[in-house]
Amino acid sequence: MSVENWQDIRDNPLIEVSPFKNSVRTVFEAIAQDENIDEQVRDEIFTDPLIDAISEQEEIRIPEVDILNSNLRFAQSTRRIRNVTWSMRIKKKYNYKCVVPRCDVTGKLFVDAAHIKPDNIPDGNIPHRSHILNGLCLCKHCHILFDKGYFSLTDEHKIIISPKFNDIVDQNLKTVILSSTNIKINNRLDNRFPFVDFVRYHREYCFRSL
């Protein structure tokens, strides 16, 4: 598909050339019938075709499209679907394993998808909220520390520790993070790493450097 095709799909994901028109139509029908859409999305009933279609296009370097953007009808519901879909994709890419090298937490129930450049920040030159290279799979405890800026990443995707890390009470988690310092994060299944632009944003605005 051409870039123009994808721009058309962004404006209307139900047009004939859209590879996920049937899935989107099913989602909206469920919303209209007031079904429990969140539960069905979590169960991956609706989202797999969308995930696969977007991933396929992304791999051949067609710009990623946030097909469920907030301008669409049913905006509140579509934002939830977009966020859940993004989360599922991130965790799947990392095979449900925390990216912190010395952390051994794995499994769908125990890991989260964490935004590197926070979701609540307005988009810049590169839309980031649903970008597949703006996410890390982290266990729930590492997720909290990352969001709070206690650790971040270098441009080479190695763990760096904030001076504020010493304020955390000694515990196993602290040992796990400290022992991962200067080690590159665990690979994704496709061996791709987060965009450096997003990493630099986290390091500059979220990381407790002082």
For the stretch 2-58, pLDDT in tens is 667 767 766 676 677 777 677 666 666 665 565 555 555 555 545 555 555 555 454
> Domain range spanning residue 51?
1-93
* Same domain for 89 and 108: no
74 and 35 within one domain: yes
How distant is the alpha carbon of residue 94 from its chain centre? 11
Residues 77 and 116 in one domain: no
Whether residue 196 sits in one domain with residue 102? yes
My answer on whether 115 and 208 are in the same domain is yes
For residues 190 and 116, membership in a common domain is answered with: yes
Q: Is 104 left (phi over 0), alpha (psi -120 to 50) or beta?
A: alpha
Total structural domains in the chain? 2
pLDDT at 66 over 50: no
Q: Given phi > 0 = left and psi -120 to 50 = alpha, else beta, which region is 13?
A: alpha
- Range with lowest mean pLDDT among 61-70, 106-115, 116-125, 196-205: 61-70
Domain end (from 93, 120, 143): 93
Please tell me whether residues 156 and 137 are part of one structural domain: yes
Residue position matching structure tokens 């270098």: 154
